[in-house]
Structure 1
Amino acid sequence: MSANVHPFERLSPQRIVEAVESLGMWLPGEPFTLNSYENRVFMVSDDERRRWVVKFYRPERWTDAQIQEEHDFLFELDEAGVSVGVPWRSETGDSLHHTEGFRFALFAQVVGQAPELEKPADLFALGEVLGQVHAVGKQRDFRYRRTLDPDAMVQESRTQVLGSRWMNARQRRAYERISQELHEALRQRGWPQSWNLRVHGDCHIGNILGRDERFSLVDFDDSVMAPAVQDLWMLLTAQSDPEAHMQLAEIIEGYEQHLDFDRRQLEWVEPLRSLRLVRHSAWLAARWDDPAFPRAFPWVAEEGYWDDHIRTLEQQRHALEQAPRWIAGLDTGF
């Protein structure tokens, strides 16, 4: 096989089935591909009609110790009664498995729908489950997984994007300027290390499933040491201030059924949004050698994408200059 073939291209249906069956299961049908780019994720059914999600981790992204630490956090949460997607363990207690150079894990399917972020009851329920997660997360620190570091992450992202081949000279100058301005704005803020705890890390509605106002969190692949607000801010989607304050109030009320929330962290909602915007384009550039990315995101190679991205970063820089909208109108508790 050519050295230029991406490792994930070797994940044929037969290999996937053989990997799962090496754990002692029998799969009567073929795997169904689920929507995932960072890793490769498939739905499979065994001979007892149980549905499983099998995740093949991206080679060289995490160490075995980092993945195992993610799994161990999930086991802690499950033991504490928190609703999360927990990896299957073999009779020897192993949750991380190896096959032909890949690491993979098996999860029982979590059924349900994404929450509706316009519904107060859903927001309250989301706040509750996040408060439960963080109450466990604060009990100890990660040893191997990363700590969220906006300064380092923006610098790494800028280097990745500026090293790509897509932008023309005008765009490159504009991107270099605006990304540097955002970098400086984030540097000037900083957060106390005392705010850091184990969090989900990528808490958007695609990683939340449930029904009847009971939700489960799945995919802790980006679990990290970070402030609690890292798991809250992506749920704040409203455009008008009254709706925004409703969202935040419901989430915090649910959250504080289990753990107090330091309102000073709300100053980081827009900075964290800035960080995600900068990291997203860098992620696309870094993963372009994976054939799934050009197929799924062809517009990244087009000039218009980078004009739009630079314009979005300009708008975000202006948002950072404004007074934090999430604090105005909310009882800060101080």
Structure 2
Amino acid sequence: MNEASAEQCADFSFQGLTPDIIVRALESVDIYPSSGLLALNSYENRVYQFTADDRRRYVAKFYRPQRWSDAQILEEHQFSQALLDAEVPVVAPLCLQQQSLHHFEGYRFCIFPSVGGRAFEPNALDDLERLGRQIGRLHQVARQHHFQHRPRINYHEYVTQSLHTLQQSALVPEAISHAFFAILEPLAARLASTDLAIASQQRLHGDCHIGNILQYEQQLTFVDFDDCRSGPAIQDLWMMLNGDRQQQWQQLDALIYGYEDFCRFDEAELPLIEPLRAFRIIQYMAWLAKRWQDSAFQRAFPWFAEQRYWEQQVLALKEQYAALDEKPLSLNIGQ
């Protein structure tokens, strides 16, 4: 790797990823854009949709330097391809020149077929049952093998490192700092007792929220496996739960009812829902703080630097701390 490429590999803001480099990277794998590059909503990586001279639409994904190793990225690709081979609707990268991961001037990228659809919006319990069935199909394949290189969901990464990032960040307003850490630090300490070992560790989508599920007519397609990792099955289910406790009971029952058409669900994982929700809340704040120097984040999340946001987070953290004291959801409504 030459000096210029090494410098680009350390470029977390993608300032060196110019349109010229993008086009030349695509041409290096014999994909020739015939339209402009439409930037899609992706903040961790850079993702562009375009039409090529073969009249097909593609999506190019350029990975954020130094976030994942080549081995970890290839496991992501292999997992999504295994799902596709099993006829689970997912979007997997194309194999071009006998490989799915490509390198160009210090950047790593892959090419996907462009898939139509809109973000999935469940409007009824039947929709959640259908989604549960699809997640069950995904997990049925996921359980056949294990990741060797992708990380596991763990307290140190999600909570300890995130807490340190927030403690070092200048973005927490001084006026709210005391109140913010007065709840965040006790919450982090309490989460240290979370026993992830009560659940079997399996391959996961890892970021299974409705924004990563496309709906076209009646088909649901999973996209964006960038955060795939190992962990408890409930991680790919709990993000679909919202509203009051009664609503979440109903939503959970609908999800699991569909899920168990393909995969058995271990009810011992239910007490992990609120701790995992807390993990995500803390990690999300730290993720924004770590990436704040990337101008794309400042454009997309301007409220993150406002005091009002941090005041709201104090309330959210207090509510989450209280949620840890509640009886875990069960699969029998009313209990």
Q: TM-score range by the shorter chain?
A: over 0.9
Correspondent of 1:88 among 86, 90, 94: 94
Q: Does 1:272 align with 2:276?
A: yes
Name the CA distance, whole Å, in 2 between partners of 1:267 and 1:177.
Answer: 25
Moved more, 24-33 or 61-70: 24-33
Question: How far has the Cα of 1:169 moved from its partner?
Answer: 4.4
Name the CA distance, whole Å, in 1 between partners of 2:21 and 2:126.
Answer: 43
Q: For the aligned residues, what is the CA RMSD?
A: 2.1
What is the TM-score normalised by the length of structure 1? 0.92
Name the residue aligned to 1:199: 204
Give the SS at the match of 1:195: coil
Correspondent of 2:313 among 309, 314, 317: 309
Identity %: 40
Q: Does 1:243 align with 2:235?
A: no
User: Cα distance 1:328–1:97, how it changes in 2: closer, same or farther (>3 A)?
Assistant: closer
Contact 2:59–2:112, Cα closer than 8 Å, also in 1: yes
Name the residue aligned to 1:105: 110
Question: How far has the Cα of 1:119 moved from its partner?
Answer: 2.1
Name the residue aligned to 1:18: 24
Name the CA distance, whole Å, in 2 between partners of 1:6 and 1:153.
Answer: 20
Name the CA distance, whole Å, in 2 between partners of 1:175 and 1:240.
Answer: 25
User: Cα distance 1:104–1:191, how it changes in 2: closer, same or farther (>3 A)?
Assistant: same
Name the residue aligned to 2:219: 214
Contact 2:45–2:63, Cα closer than 8 Å, also in 1: yes
Q: Does 1:186 align with 2:174?
A: no
Correspondent of 1:124 among 117, 124, 129: 129
Structure 2, gaps ≥5 residues long: none
Q: Which amino acid aligns with 1:30?
A: G
Contact 2:12–2:65, Cα closer than 8 Å, also in 1: no
Question: How far has the Cα of 1:331 moved from its partner?
Answer: 9.3
Write the deviation string for residues 188-241 of structure 1: whole angstroms up to 9, x where unpaired.
23122652100000001110012333211010000010100000011112x134
Name the CA distance, whole Å, in 1 between partners of 2:11 and 2:82.
Answer: 38
Name the CA distance, whole Å, in 2 between partners of 1:6 and 1:147.
Answer: 23
Name the residue aligned to 1:319: 323
Q: Does 1:39 align with 2:45?
A: yes
Number of aligned residue pairs: give it: 329
Question: How far has the Cα of 1:296 moved from its partner?
Answer: 1.8
Question: How far has the Cα of 1:107 moved from its partner?
Answer: 0.6
Name the CA distance, whole Å, in 1 between partners of 2:302 and 2:55.
Answer: 37
Structure 1, gaps ≥5 residues long: none
Report matched runs for 1:147-158 at 5 Å.
Answer: 147-158=152-163
User: Cα distance 1:51–1:193, how it changes in 2: closer, same or farther (>3 A)?
Assistant: farther
User: Cα distance 1:53–1:316, how it changes in 2: closer, same or farther (>3 A)?
Assistant: same
Moved more, 45-54 or 183-192: 183-192
Moved more, 313-322 or 198-207: 313-322
Contact 2:158–2:280, Cα closer than 8 Å, also in 1: no
Moved more, 66-75 or 160-169: 160-169
Correspondent of 2:14 among 8, 25, 29: 8
